[in-house]
C-alpha cells in the first residue's frame, strides 16, 4: 500500500475514532444515575481518541517512509541476483535505481539488462516491507485508539489534553519559519567560510573585477570582486525601481484614500494589488520584449551612443511597476489609519484638502510609508527573473542606465546552473553572495518592522 493511500486510511480511521469517542462520552452523560456532567464536552473526548489514533501512526509512517527504502535496497542486494552486479558504486547505483523504477511501475523498459534481473527481488522486498508497514500502522491506530477510548471517563480532562496538544502543534508551526531561517543562515555561513578560505574577504567585498573562475587567482587578482554586483543590485532595485515605485505608489494611495469615490476605490484597489500576484517571468517578458527595445530606440533618438537592448533602466522600470502594490498598500493603510480628528482639525482651521494631505496626513503616516518602502526595497533587491531577461549578465560598474548590468541574485543563478564542482571558489562564491544578500534583506525587513511597530503604537 502506497504512503498516500495509507495516509488517507489513517485519516479515515481517525475520523471513525472521533465518532466512537464522542458517542461513548455522550452515553456517559445519558447513563449516569445522577446525571452528573462530565468534565469536557463529548467532542473533546472524540478529539482525544482521534489524536491518540492518528498521532503515533503518522509519526511511525513518517519514520517508516524514511527508513524503508534502505531496508528494501538491502533486501534486494541480499538476493542471489545481486551477485552479478558490478562493484563500481556508480554503476551499481544506476542499475538498482532502474530496477526500482521498473518494480514500482514508473518505467517498463531497462537500458541495462542487469536491471531486469533485479526487478523480481525488488518486487518481493517492496511487497514484504509494504505489507509490514501497513500492518504496523493499522495496529498502531487500533491499539492507541482503543487505549484512549478505554480511558474515557466522566472525570477525564479531555479538553485540557486536547488544547495542550493543539498549543504544541501551533508552537511547532510558528517555529518552522524561524528554524528554516536559522538553517538557511547556517548553511550559507558554512559554505561562505569555505569560499573565504580560498578567496580573500577584502578582495570579495571591495574588489571591482568580477570574473569567477574555478581556480582562484593570486591575491589582488582573483576576479571575485563583488562591487559591480552590489552596485548593480542597488542601481536597479534601490534606485531606479524606487524612483518609479515610490511616487506612483504614494500618489495612488493618496488618490484612493482622499479623492476617489467609494465605488471606484472598491474595485480599483484590488486591481492595483493584482500587480503583486503577476509572475515575475511575465514581467521579464514585458521588460525584454517591450520596454527594453523602446528605451533603446529612445536613447538612440536623443543621441546616446552605446545604448544596449539589455539595460538597467528597462529592468528597473519594470521592477518598479511590479512593487508599486507594496508601497501603495502600506501607504494606503497608513494614511487611512491616521485619526480623523487630525484631518478634520486641519480642515476646520481653514487648510485646503491638498494642504491637509501635505502637512498633516503624509507626515503623520510617514513611519508606515517608510516601512512599506523598505519592504519594497527588500523585495526588489531579491528579484532575479526580470534582471536576467532585461538587464543581462554583464558585471559592469557603470552609472549609465542604458548599459547592461547584473545583480547578486542573477549571478547566484548563473553560478549554480548546470554541473558544478562544489569544492571550487567559482561555485562557492554563490553562497558568499547569498550570505551578503540574506543579511542585507534581513536588516531591511527588521528596520521596516520596527518602523511599522512604532507607527502602530502611536495611532492604535
Tell me what pLDDT residue 142 has.
Answer: 92
Strand partners, 210: 224
Selection from 7-11, 179-183, 242-246 with the highest mean pLDDT: 242-246
- Residue 11 has a CB neighbour count (10 Å cut-off) of 14
Q: Which of 49-63, 112-126, 217-231, 439-453 has the highest mean pLDDT?
A: 49-63
Helix residue spans in 207-311 (DSSP H): 227-233, 241-254, 262-273, 280-286, 292-301
- The predicted-structure confidence for 431-452, as pLDDT tens digits, reads as follows 999 999 888 888 877 877 777 6
Separation of alpha carbons 14 and 55, rounded Å:
9
Angle CA(113)–CA(116)–CA(119) in degrees, nearest 5?
A: 155
Geometric angle at alpha carbon 127, from 124 and 133, rounded to 5°: 135
Please give the torsion angle defined by the CA atoms of residues 364, 367, 369 and 374, in that order, rounded to the nearest 10 degrees: 170
Q: What is the pLDDT of residues 372-413, one digit of tens each?
A: 888 888 888 888 888 888 887 788 888 888 888 888 888 888
Distances (CA, A) of 221 to 58, 207, 431: 56, 9, 20
At residue 420, does pLDDT exceed 60? yes
Sign of the Cα torsion 150, 154, 157, 159 reads positive
pLDDT at 105 over 80: no
Answer whether residue 243 shows pLDDT above 80. yes
Of 86-90, 187-191, 346-350, least confident by mean pLDDT is: 86-90
336: confidence class by pLDDT, cuts 50, 70, 90: confident
> Mean pLDDT of all residues in the chain?
83
Which of the four pLDDT bands, split at 50, 70 and 90, describes residue 458?
low
- Alpha carbons 455 and 51: distance in angstroms, whole number: 43
What integer pLDDT is reported at residue 139 of this predicted model? 92
pLDDT tier, 102 (very low <50, low <70, confident <90, very high otherwise): confident
When pLDDT is averaged across residues 410-433 and rounded to a whole number, the result is: 81
Per-residue pLDDT, averaged over 77-103, amounts to: 75
Segment 121-163, tens digit of pLDDT:
888 888 888 888 889 989 999 999 999 988 888 888 888 888 8
Residue 440, C-beta contacts closer than 8 angstroms, at least 6 positions apart: 378, 381
- Specify the DSSP element, H or E, that contains 184: helix 158-196
* Cα torsion angle, 159, 160, 166, 169, sign: negative
Q: What is the pTM of this model?
A: 0.68
Contacts of 30 (CB under 8 A, 6+ apart): none
Let me know how long the chain is: 460
**Which pLDDT score is estimated for 76?**
80
Secondary structure element (H or E) that encloses residue 404, with its range = none
Rounded distance between C-alpha atoms, residue 378 and residue 441, angstroms: 5
Span of 66-70, 87-91, 373-377 with lowest mean pLDDT? 87-91
- Least trusted range by pLDDT, from 29-43, 95-109, 368-382: 29-43
Q: Which residue has the higher pLDDT, 56 or 307?
A: 56
Contact 237, 383 (CB under 8 A): yes
pLDDT of residue 456: 59
Q: DSSP letter string over 321-359?
A: HHTHHHHHHHHHHHHHHS-HHHHHHHHHTT--HHHHIII
pLDDT level of residue 220 (50, 70, 90 thresholds): very low
3-state secondary structure (DSSP) of residue 70: helix
Contact present, 371 and 330 (Cβ < 8 Å): yes
Cα(454)–Cα(460) distance, integer angstroms? 10
**pLDDT for 459 beyond 60:** no
Backbone φ and ψ of 423, nearest 5°:
-120, 15
C-alpha 333/C-alpha 356 separation (Å) is 17
Q: Give CA–CA dist 249/380, Å, rounded.
A: 14
Amino acid at each position: 500500500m502506497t504512503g498516500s493511500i495509507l495516509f488517507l486510511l489513517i485519516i479515515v480511521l481517525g475520523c471513525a475514532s472521533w465518532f466512537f469517542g464522542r458517542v461513548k462520552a455522550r452515553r456517559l452523560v445519558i447513563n449516569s444515575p445522577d446525571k452528573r456532567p462530565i468534565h469536557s464536552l463529548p467532542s473533546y473526548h472524540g478529539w482525544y481518541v482521534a489524536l491518540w489514533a492518528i498521532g503515533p501512526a503518522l509519526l511511525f509512517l513518517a519514520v517508516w517512509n524514511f527508513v524503508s527504502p534502505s531496508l528494501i535496497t538491502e533486501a534486494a542486494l541480499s538476493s542471489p541476483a545481486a551477485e552479478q552486479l558490478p562493484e563500481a558504486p556508480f554503476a551499481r547505483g544506476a542499475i538498482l535505481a532502474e530496477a526500482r523504477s521498473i518494480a514500482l511501475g514508473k518505467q517498463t523498459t531497462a537500458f541495462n539488462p542487469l536491471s531486469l534481473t533485479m526487478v523480481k527481488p525488488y518486487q518481493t522486498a517492496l511487497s514484504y516491507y509494504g505489507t509490514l508497514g501497513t500492518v504496523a500502522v493499522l495496529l498502531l491506530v487500533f491499539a492507541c485508539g482503543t487505549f484512549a477510548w478505554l480511558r474515557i471517563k466522566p472525570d477525564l480532562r479531555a479538553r485540557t489534553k486536547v488544547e495542550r496538544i493543539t498549543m504544541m502543534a501551533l508552537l511547532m508551526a510558528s517555529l518552522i519559519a524561524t528554524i528554516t531561517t536559522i538553517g538557511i543562515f547556517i548553511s550559507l555561513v558554512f559554505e561562505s567560510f569555505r569560499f573565504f578560505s580560498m578567496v580573500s574577504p577584502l578582495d570579495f567585498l571591495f574588489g571591482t573585477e568580477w570574473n569567477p573562475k574555478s581556480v582562484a587567482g593570486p591575491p589582488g587578482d582573483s576576479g571575485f570582486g563583488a562591487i559591480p554586483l552590489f552596485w548593480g543590485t542597488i542601481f536597479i532595485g534601490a534606485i531606479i525601481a524606487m524612483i518609479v515605485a515610490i511616487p506612483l505608489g504614494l500618489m495612488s494611495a493618496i488618490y484612493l484614500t482622499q479623492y476617489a469615490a467609494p465605488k471606484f476605490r472598491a474595485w480599483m484597489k484590488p486591481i492595483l494589488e493584482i500587480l503583486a500576484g503577476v509572475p515575475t517571468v511575465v514581467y521579464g517578458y514585458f521588460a525584454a520584449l517591450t520596454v527594453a527595445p523602446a528605451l533603446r530606440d529612445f536613447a538612440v533618438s536623443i543621441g546616446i551612443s552605446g545604448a544596449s537592448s539589455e539595460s538597467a533602466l528597462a529592468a528597473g522600470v519594470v521592477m518598479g511597476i511590479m512593487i508599486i502594490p507594496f508601497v501603495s498598500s502600506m501607504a494606503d493603510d497608513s494614511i487611512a489609519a491616521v485619526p480623523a480628528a487630525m484631518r478634520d482639525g486641519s480642515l476646520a482651521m481653514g487648510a485646503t484638502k491638498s494642504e491637509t494631505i501635505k502637512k498633516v496626513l503624509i507626515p503623520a503616516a510617514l513611519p508606515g510609508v517608510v516601512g512599506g518602502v523598505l519592504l519594497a526595497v527588500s523585495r526588489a533587491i531579491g528579484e532575479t527573473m526580470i534582471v536576467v531577461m532585461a538587464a543581462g549578465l554583464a558585471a559592469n560598474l557603470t552609472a549609465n542606465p542604458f548599459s547592461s548590468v547584473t545583480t547578486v541574485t542573477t549571478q547566484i543563478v548563473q553560478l549554480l546552473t548546470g554541473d558544478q564542482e562544489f569544492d571550487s571558489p567559482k561555485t562557492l562564491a554563490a553562497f558568499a553572495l547569498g550570505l551578503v544578500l540574506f543579511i542585507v534583506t534581513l536588516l531591511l525587513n527588521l528596520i521596516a518592522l520596527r518602523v511599522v511597530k512604532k507607527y502602530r503604537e502611536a495611532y492604535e
